[in-house]
Amino acid sequence: MVVSAHAGDWLWRSGGAIGKVVQDGGEAVIVALSFGERGESGELWKQPEQTVENVKKIREREVRSAAAVLGAAVHFFDLGDYPLIVDRAALDRLTELMRDFEPDAVITHTEMDPANPDHPEAHRATVLARKLAIGAGVPAAFKTITPPALYVFEPHHTELCGFSPNTYLDITETFPRKTEAMARMAAQQYMVDHYTQRAENRASFGRRFGRNQAMRYAEAFQRLIPEVVDTL
Ligand SMILES: [Zn+2]
């Protein structure tokens, strides 16, 4: 489950992870807390007499199309952006979705992002929903789920957000589909080169740290909750 502040954030930063899990027979679900109608739709606002409602419609179409390429379902919360505010009702909805879907892994934004007011809000809500879904408080009083792994994806401004990757995911196999999904985001085509280069860059680090020398494209994540293992 990927929780994205704006409609497109999930794709650039974790589209490969989503494509990979589906390719391997798993399921992926995306929560888009807003359509990114003000924050990430710059190209659309260049059109004269553009409206918020129309921008939202176009973003929804693009995002559904990109998610379909990767085989993921999308839930749009339509909470508005700049600022994004996740209120009690939205928090309950997110928690319910988490309880229903019972994800193995939850991915969201970093806790800190000096360039963006909405990404930390998505982080806060996701961490809180996860705690509620796994039964913080009195577990017996709620339906609870097995604690999913918690990751943050790589932010746009890596260093400024205190992001320190400890997980590199090989997305080489699924990268053609991520590329196709990125092509569906007509309003943000300026992002494609940037995230293609980053995937190459992350793969070069991954080759250094891992055993897979064939890795061409990778996504970086930071795992926030300790991993429990039987053996090292
Ligand atoms: Zn965003």
- Residue 39 Cα to ligand 1 middle (Å): 7
| pLDDT at residue 161 tops 80 | yes
Give the up-direction half-sphere exposure of residue 43: CA atoms within 13 A in the CB hemisphere.
9
Torsion of CA 34, 2, 22, 208, to 10 degrees: 130
Eight-state DSSP code of residue 212: -
Fold of 2-223: Rossmann fold (3.40.50)
Out of 124-128, 134-138, 226-230, the most confident range is 124-128
Q: Is the pLDDT of residue 138 over 70?
A: no
- Give alpha helix (H) positions in the chain: 9-23, 42-45, 52-70, 88-101, 118-133, 175-183, 192-209
Instruction: Mention every residue, 6+ apart, whose C-beta is less than 8 A from residue 131.
Output: none
pLDDT value at position 137?
64
Q: Which residues are within 8 A (CB) of 42 and not within 5 positions of it... i.e. 6 or more apart? A: 187
Q: What is the pLDDT confidence band of residue 158, given thresholds at 50, 70 and 90?
A: very high
Distance 25 CA to ligand 1 centre (A): 28
What is the phi/psi pair of residue 183, to 5°? -65, -25
| Gap from CA of 132 to ligand 1 centroid (Å) | 24
Q: What is the mean pLDDT of residues 146-158?
A: 96
Residues 197-214 as b/e (b if ≥16 CB within 10 A, e otherwise) read ebbeebbeebbeeeeeee
User: What are the domain boundaries of the chain?
Assistant: 2-223
Question: Which residues, listed in sequence order, are joined to residue 74 by a DSSP beta bridge?
Answer: 30
What would the two tokens of residue 206 be?
Answer: 């991954």
pTM comes to 0.95
